[in-house]
Amino acid sequence: MTVRAYRRFFVVAWQFLPILLAYARDRRRFLVFGSPRQVSPETRRRRARALLASMLTLGPTFIKLGQLLSTRPDILPPEYVEEFATLQDEVPPAPWPEARRVIEEELGPPEEVFEDFDTDAISGASLGQVYVARCEGERVAVKVRRPNIESLVEADLRVIKFSLPLLMRFVGEAQSFSLETLADEFGVVIREEMDYAREARMLEEIRANFTDNPTIRIPRVIEKRSTDRVLTMEYLGGTKISEVDDLDALGVDRTGLAENLQRVYLQMIVEDGVFHADPHPGNLAVQDDGTLVFYDFGMSGRVPPYIQDKIVEFYVGIANQDIDAILDALIEMGTLSPEADRDTMGSVMELAIADVRGEQIEQYRVQQIVNQVEDTIYEFPLRLPPNLALVLRVATVVEGVCVTLDPRFDFIEVATSYLRERGYLEAGVQQFLEDRVEEVNRATQSIVRVPPKLERTLDRLERNDVAVRARIEDSNQVVDRLARRVVLGLLLAALTLSTALTYSLGAYEGAAVGGALALLTAFLLYRSFRTPKGIRAQPQFTRQNLRQRGASGLDGTSAGAASSAADSAGGTDRTDGSGETSAPVGADRSGDEGRV
């Protein structure tokens, strides 16, 4: 690492040291010895707030890391996901002289490049800030990369990579794999977001996909005034989508607006394969005529065709309430382990679908499934491949925005209607029939092939010419643990006997040594029978209503990640064309953030 990276490592370590010590004590109460301790949901939430405050203190890279972690429930407990979902990309803008230097290096003096330039930033974000200017008689928004951000991000990325081996000690095997992939993914994501030339290309591509849709407005890029570090766009104003009172004053149909928003994202993900991945309320606005405006395409992504097909199958399974089809789609996308308990996950999916549809769910049913999930969900955790993490973020945040607009909004009904209009539901039936015909063909071919093979096998059995090879799968090292216990038990018995004999013969020093070894062996044997307990969180498997239910297994959760994302964006009634606001984050945090 560079000198700056080493210095930065100690700064980061100092910020995270209290929370890491708390995690270490969860595994061993007195750090080097002691039993594990259980962590309540309230404690996890307090720690999440403290960690969030540390990320805000550490600056741009860690703010972005927190945002990415809010999309990864396969890595963090739900309390952390919910808290991090409130982390908006809002920091005070850099001083104007520093930003001016960036513009001069990229375009030239602002007063020569633009007819008019307001030096007061209308918004500040972790990686850039936005100004209003006038170019060729048109009002434009000028997004400028934060000065000297590149070296800071590179130093922080080195620190994160250097810290991974330490973090692995606090998580399980599945989470450690996810952490490694997350670190690589985060480096790619943050570098892409700093590349304004890439953002311009993604913006124009998505804008072209909606040129025939009059209900959508996406800013046009001013190419002559845009570079890798400066992005000049058409200025589009509007009312922030979460300001429901102002929308009502404008006479906007909020239910129709929510339906339009979901349909837009379904088109991006299912059909276009390129999507705007940061739909929090600061990046969505509504014009007076109800037109939906999108800002800030720095966080955007692509969906491979194969994943698109599986997402369609997933939605079709939900529309038909076909639990097996839903689970198959999740497995084929790599989101669910093939070894997962299908009965348990099927129950979770049934409850989630009922919850999203707004159906009444009996309390005993909730607790029954919570108890069922607790025994299996961490052994076979849900996983999130990198190409699906942003899709999950979109689905969660869009849900929060839609619920803000219409608390009774039916996502499944809108998705079903969209799929039916596009012909996906009928295509699904046709594909089902084609698959069944193919299965019949394969079965017919097997009927022809099996009898000769069976006859040859029976002949070999008759000649005693059959060998059976077996391989024991022991991924959980059960056999290894049993063998260790047997060895320790035999050793303990031998030491106990030898200690008794030496004591009876008067060799007290030898008896003391043997007794000490026997006690150590007994302790190791006792430890081998204890169930290891790590940092576990209560599972959450629906996103809105179930978190607010009073079951003991769900206590301590207050709001869904999506709703938090929707409700957390404060600020002015009007957006400014940048999709970002300048209100400080975390100003109203509770006073117990610093305690762990």
Please choose, from the candidates 141, 447, 487, the residue with its C-alpha nearest in 3D space to the C-alpha of residue 294. Answer: 141
Mean pLDDT of 207-217: 94
Distance from the Cα of residue 459 to its chain's centroid? 57
> For residue 89, what pLDDT is reported?
60
> For residue 427, what pLDDT is reported?
53
Please choose, from the candidates 586, 569, 558, the residue with its C-alpha nearest in 3D space to the C-alpha of residue 78. Answer: 558
> For residue 539, what pLDDT is reported?
37
Residue 564 and residue 255: Cα distance in Å, rounded?
Answer: 20
Q: What is the pLDDT of residues 305-328, one digit of tens each?
A: 988 888 888 888 888 878 888 888
> Around Cβ 27, how many Cβ atoms within 10 Å?
17
Question: What does the mean pLDDT of the chain come to?
Answer: 77
Query: In this model, does residue 540 exceed pLDDT 50?
Result: no
Residue 284 and residue 282: Cα distance in Å, rounded?
Answer: 6
Q: What is the pLDDT of residues 34-82, one digit of tens each?
A: 777 788 888 888 988 998 888 888 888 888 888 878 767 667 777 887 8
Q: Which amino acid is at 343?
A: D
Residue 373 and residue 537: Cα distance in Å, rounded?
Answer: 12
Mean pLDDT of 282-286: 90
Query: In this model, does residue 512 exceed pLDDT 60?
Result: yes
> For residue 376, what pLDDT is reported?
44
Higher pLDDT, 536 or 306: 306
Q: What is the pLDDT of residues 225-279, one digit of tens each?
A: 999 999 999 999 899 998 999 999 999 999 999 999 999 999 999 999 999 988 8
> For residue 556, what pLDDT is reported?
36
User: Active-site residue among 156, 278, 296, 576?
Assistant: 278
Mean pLDDT of 403-409: 89
- Contacts of residues 553-558 at CB distance under 8 Å and 24 or more positions apart, as own/partner, are 553/366, 553/367, 553/370, 553/371, 553/374, 554/366, 554/370, 555/41, 556/40, 556/41, 556/42, 556/44, 556/45, 556/79, 557/41, 557/78, 557/79, 557/82, 558/82
Higher pLDDT, 448 or 329: 329
Q: Which two tokens stand for residue 152?
A: 């800071």
pTM above 0.85, yes or no: no
Query: In this model, does residue 450 exceed pLDDT 80?
Result: no
> For the ranges 170-174, 191-195, 444-448, which has the lowest average pLDDT?
170-174
Burial, 540: exposed, middle or buried (Cβ in 10 Å; 0-12, 13-18, 19+)? buried
Under 8 Å between Cβ of 219 and 234: yes
Triad 393, 374, 526: Cα angle to 5°: 125
Q: What is the pLDDT of residues 483-505, one digit of tens each?
A: 888 888 888 888 888 888 888 88
Distances in whole angstroms, Cα of residue 397 to Cα of each of 106, 404, 494: 35, 11, 63
> Around Cβ 456, how many Cβ atoms within 10 Å?
10
- Residue 115 CB partners (closer than 8 Å, separation 6+): 133, 134, 135, 136, 137
Query: In this model, does residue 380 exceed pLDDT 90?
Result: no
Q: What is the 3-state secondary structure (H, E, C) of 563-582?
A: HHHHHHCCCCCEECCCCCCC
Q: What is the dihedral of CA 527, 179, 177, 391, to 10 degrees?
A: 130
Query: In this model, does residue 138 exceed pLDDT 60?
Result: yes
Q: What is the pLDDT of residues 354-371, one digit of tens each?
A: 766 666 555 545 555 555
φ/ψ of residue 244, rounded to 5: -65, -35
Triad 342, 348, 351: Cα angle to 5°: 140
> For residue 482, what pLDDT is reported?
81
Q: In the annotation, is 278 catalytic?
A: yes
Under 8 Å between Cβ of 415 and 271: no
Q: What is the pLDDT of residues 153-175, one digit of tens each?
A: 988 888 888 887 777 666 655 56
Q: Where are the alpha helices (DSSP H) in 383-539?
A: 386-405, 411-421, 424-462, 478-504, 508-529
